[in-house]
Amino acid sequence: MSLEDQWTSSLEDSEALLLNVSKMLWDSSPERHQYAVWLPGIGIAAVYGLIILVGLVGNITLMKTCLLVKSMRTVPNLFLSSLALGDLLLLVTCAPVDASRYLVDEWLFGRVGCKLIPFIQLTSVGVSVFTLTALSADRYKAIVKPLDINRSSATLSIGLRAGTIWLLSVTLAIPEAVFSDLHTFTTSHTNVTFVTCAPYPHAGELHPKIHSTASFLVFYVIPLLVISVYYLFIARSLIRSSADISAEGHLHLHKQIKSRKRLAKTVLVFVGLFALCWLPSHVIYLYRSYHYDQVDTSLAHFIASVCARILAFANSCVNPFALYLMSKSFSKHFRNQLLCCSSPRRLYSQNSASTNVTSV
């Protein structure tokens, strides 16, 4: 997953405003170049580079493992492949652009980039959170209503659901592409004017409040509430199943319940990582939107903003390694794919002949 990884694309305006003010404090020379490089930004950009590198390796290897190894083509893993694709899109396109904003004090990517980058970023966030919601629904169905699972149509169903998630995410991100544009801002403290990419001009307080609140609800609160409801039913079902099985017998059922708990725990970890990584970004954006007429140029606020943004992008690289730590079968195949030590014949001769809908 998410799954973006990001704060929402609408943070461009307030982050750019804060960044430019901070750069003014560092670059006080009377004669500035056209693109003044902010020296501390080199360290921040290096952290972005590390996130991009780790994320590319992890997500590409995850997709190879889940798609090439037949025994790993489970419903959760195929959903995770879609989540990894969204994370790759974010890391390849949006992360480098975001890093560049800490190096130079101008928007470098023109009007087209101003419309395209927020669109891609919000699409990736939608793919992440909606895929996690779909994964929770899948775990609910597998645990609470296992008899409703149709194994023969599992692959087609996964494709349709993944495609629907991407279509929904793209649709919700279209307004970002339509309304994002290059706008001129003037800082109140230094009276310095600069041009940056933002989803709306620096005028009026209602628009940023609506935008930040809607983003928080649609891409964070509502999906997490839905996931919470699913997991309440899952927990209740597992407790009842454990109580109905005697301690002496039913070894097969004990193993089945243990497997279901492990799978539900894995998905819940991904959801927790998303919630943890994205909450600071949403909180800071809400704070700025509801204090839009005041620019907080304090060092503490700037550090918090940078950390929140890096944490959001880091969410796009942690899922493969979290799954590696939690699944012995995945970790074995992940190592094989990462080290390129598995021959094509071995990859396609795994013991599972069909898609497994209940195991990772």
Q: What is the CATH number of the domain that holds 53?
A: 1.20.1070.10
**Whether 109 contacts 98, CB under 8 Å:** no
Does 360 map to a domain? no
pTM of the complete model: 0.79
Does 193 map to a domain? yes
Give Cα separations from 174 to 16, 156, 229, 336 (angstroms).
22, 27, 29, 39
Give Cα separations from 18 to 11, 144, 289, 299 (angstroms).
11, 48, 13, 10
**Whether 257 contacts 245, CB under 8 Å:** yes
pLDDT at residue 5 is higher than 50? no
Q: Where are the alpha helices (DSSP H) in the chain?
A: 12-26, 39-68, 75-89, 95-100, 110-144, 154-179, 206-216, 222-244, 251-289, 299-326, 328-339, 344-347
220 by DSSP, 3-state: which? helix
Please tell me the predicted confidence (pLDDT) of residue 290. Answer: 83
Give Cα separations from 140 to 71, 133, 260, 302 (angstroms).
22, 11, 10, 41
pLDDT at residue 62 is higher than 80? yes
Query: Average pLDDT in the 2-14 region?
Result: 36
| Average predicted confidence (pLDDT) for the chain | 78
Count of positions (residues) in the chain: 360
Please tell me the predicted confidence (pLDDT) of residue 228. Answer: 95
Query: Average pLDDT in the 104-126 region?
Result: 89
Please tell me the predicted confidence (pLDDT) of residue 358. Answer: 44
Does 284 map to a domain? yes
Total domains in the chain come to: 1
Number of other CB atoms surrounding residue 151 within 10 Å? 12
In which band, very low, low, confident or very high, does the pLDDT at 154 lie, cut at 50, 70 and 90? Answer: low
pLDDT at residue 9 is higher than 60? no
Instruction: Tell me the two tokens of residue 319.
Output: 């899922």
Does 1 map to a domain? no
Domain region containing 331: 9-347
C-alpha closest to that of 238 among 255, 257, 265, 253:
257
Query: Tokens 């609910």, residue?
Result: 140
183 - beta bridge partners? 196
* DSSP labels, 159-176: HHHHHHHHHHHHHHHHHH
Instruction: Tell me the two tokens of residue 343.
Output: 């021959």
Q: Rounded CA gap, 42 and 44, in Å?
A: 5
121 Cβ contact list (under 8 Å, min separation 6) = 4, 6, 8, 9, 90, 93, 94, 176
Does 53 map to a domain? yes
**Whether 357 contacts 151, CB under 8 Å:** yes
Instruction: Tell me the two tokens of residue 87.
Output: 């994370």
Residue with more model confidence, 196 or 124? 124
Residue type, 190: T
Strands 193-198 and 181-186: what pairing? antiparallel
Please tell me the predicted confidence (pLDDT) of residue 236. Answer: 85
Please tell me the predicted confidence (pLDDT) of residue 360. Answer: 60
Q: What is the DSSP letter of 352?
A: -
Does 63 map to a domain? yes
Query: Average pLDDT in the 136-149 region?
Result: 78
Q: What is the DSSP letter of 273?
A: H
Does 355 map to a domain? no
pLDDT at residue 249 is higher than 80? no
